[in-house]
Chains A and B, each alone.
Chain A
Amino acid sequence: MSGERTQSALLGALGVALMLGAWEVIGQNRLVGMTWPPFSSVMAFLFDPSRQALFSRALTATLGSAGLGYLIGGLAGLAFAMLGQILPVLRPGTDRATAVIHAIPSIALAPIFIVLLSREAAPTALAALNAFFVFYVAGASGFASSSQTQRDLMAALGASGTKRFFHVDLPAAFPGIVSGMKLAVPAALIGAIIGEWFGAPRGLGILIVNAMQNFQIPLLWSVVVLAATTSLVLFSAMTLLERIVHERYR
């Protein structure tokens, strides 16, 4: 069993190495043209000491907006899911409203948030909106996963809807919510980055869109790699947390 696991880990590492190798070879030989830089030159650009201040300032700004939005959106999404669970009459309405909110294009909302809030707050608001959807879906399906028998028992013992919610539905939803916490990481980052496209003072998003428009190919790739790596690291941390919780609640 553990031999099989080592083998698949080795194969996986080889797969990633092959991908990076292909990236390098295509870039070195200009197989796709000037817009595909080799992996090594993107790394050199990314780790150039003279650009550390630029990248760390942008990353801090984006992580700040995404993190705050993640918290706000997460709490709001869970609260909205809770509303539908405690008062089941409202459930069809909450489902449809979240689906519609999720379907509104972020690029349409960004200018509205800039007017209503500010340039600085638009990335946070979009991150919150994206996280809201993921947390709502995770919460709503999680709360509903408590078994009918458990709910009947609570009803027979004369527990109120609220009491049942906190003693049965909420613990049952916990593994689902933790999975939502994981999936909301890239969602919140996308929200923050798109929000920054519309003229935030700093952040990864504004670097991406400026680099695209000004044909600064190494900068464009470096920032996208930075955003992807950040998301990957946070996502992996959440996957570990998810594994622990799923073991505990099985």
Chain B
Amino acid sequence: MSQSATANGPARPSLVGRIGRTLLNFWGIALILVLWEALVVLNDFNVIVMPRPWAVFADIWANPGLYLQNFMQTAWVAMGGLVLGMIAGTTIAVLAWSSRILNGLLTPIGLIFSSIPVVAMIPVLARMLGYGTETVLAIVAILSFFPFFVFTGSGLKLLPAGSADLFSVFGAKKHQRLFHLALPSALPNWTVALRLASANAILGAMVAEFLMGTSGLGQMLHAASQAFNTERALGASVCATIGSVTLFVLVVSLEARVRERWT
């Protein structure tokens, strides 16, 4: 990455180098925006069909309060659901670890639910729990539950070679084994679950809000597209995308730190 900086000579201020590096990092995203712009201009779409990128960003810029309010609503519900799913998934994985029978009973159910399109179940949950914000919270929690359950469960068995024997030799109790051996070994796997679940939390919340038309960015998207306000509909999506990417980047950096400490 520093090649472009040195090519321009070390004596010059690194502005060119910095621009070069930004381009290298973000050329893909820039390409998406350019393609979007080109698509609208070449097809001569009107603003109802598809506005140009700058018009969408201008709408966000002009209505910061509206966007922020809906964004916070969705973000809080998504984070809340993520945390609930995390607690439930991790707890049940630990319970399954502590009992062979429970482990045998629960493992295939976890595998079944992680291999089916859970998003397709959102309509069932919406009908069952009623249209409302609590349902969005429950849906995100359920979506997040399975990665935590499956990955923590497999992580708890990934013990360093010989460590289990060592704990047996010293006559460790089950809870000592859990807190000093199994849980630390499961941590890298657990962060993988966090990454997977966080990537889907905001999107899951938005799909639920969209289907039920209750609140947040999903409702905003729903209402705006009903009113043919495509700028606002895309603006809501841009906010969800930014929120989702931010959450994902935070989690990935956390994961890198965990990996550094644990391996």
Of A107, A190, A193, which is within 8 A of B218 by CB?
A107
Q: How far is the CB of B2 from chain A (nearest CB, A)?
A: 11
- Which B residues lie within 8 Å of A158 (CB)? none
* A44 adjacent to chain B (CB < 8 Å): no
* B62 adjacent to chain A (CB < 8 Å): no
Given the known interface contacts A100-B32, A105-B241, A108-B234, the answer about A190 and B120 at a Cβ–Cβ threshold of 8 Å is yes
Inter-chain CA distance A231–B115, complex, in Å, is 7
**Would A228 and B120 count as touching, CB distance under 8 A?**
yes
- Which B residues lie within 8 Å of A10 (CB)? 104
**Would B127 and A96 count as touching, CB distance under 8 A?**
no
Contact digits for B118-140, partner A, Cβ 8 Å, 1 yes 0 no: 11110110111000000000000
- Which B residues lie within 8 Å of A7 (CB)? 104
Inter-chain CA distance A224–B218, complex, in Å, is 22
Chain A CB within 10 Å, residue with most, of B108, B116, B199, B225: B116
Which residue on A lies nearest to B121, using beta carbons? A224
* B112 adjacent to chain A (CB < 8 Å): yes
Which residue on B lies nearest to A10, using beta carbons? B104
**Would B127 and A215 count as touching, CB distance under 8 A?**
yes
**Would B248 and A103 count as touching, CB distance under 8 A?**
yes
Q: How far is the CB of B212 from chain A (nearest CB, A)?
A: 10
**Would A97 and B31 count as touching, CB distance under 8 A?**
yes
Given the known interface contacts A189-B117, A193-B120, A231-B115, the answer about A97 and B127 at a Cβ–Cβ threshold of 8 Å is no
Docked complex: A209-250 residues within 8 A CB-CB of B: 209, 211-212, 215, 217, 220-221, 224, 227-228, 231-232, 235-236
Inter-chain CA distance A232–B123, complex, in Å, is 19
Inter-chain CA distance A228–B108, complex, in Å, is 14
**What does DSSP make chain A's interface, helix, strand, loop or mixed?**
helix
Q: How far is the CB of B251 from chain A (nearest CB, A)?
A: 12
- Which B residues lie within 8 Å of A33 (CB)? 128
Of A101, A106, A204, A212, which is within 8 A of B211 by CB?
A212
**Would B109 and A16 count as touching, CB distance under 8 A?**
yes
Docked complex: A50-104 residues within 8 A CB-CB of B: 89-90, 92-94, 96-104
Inter-chain CA distance A8–B128, complex, in Å, is 33
- Which 4 residue pairs across A and B have the least CB separation, nearest first? A97-B28, A11-B104, A108-B237, A15-B105
Mark A residues whose CB is within 8 Å of B.
7-8, 10-16, 18-19, 32-33, 35-36, 89-90, 92-94, 96-108, 111-112, 115-116, 185-186, 189-190, 193-194, 204-205, 208-209, 211-212, 215, 217, 220-221, 224, 227-228, 231-232, 235-236
The 25 listed contacts between A and B (C-beta, < 8 Å) are: A8-B107, A12-B108, A35-B124, A89-B3, A92-B24, A100-B32, A101-B32, A103-B199, A103-B244, A105-B207, A105-B240, A186-B115, A186-B116, A189-B120, A190-B119, A193-B119, A194-B207, A208-B123, A212-B124, A221-B124, A224-B121, A227-B116, A228-B117, A231-B117, A236-B115
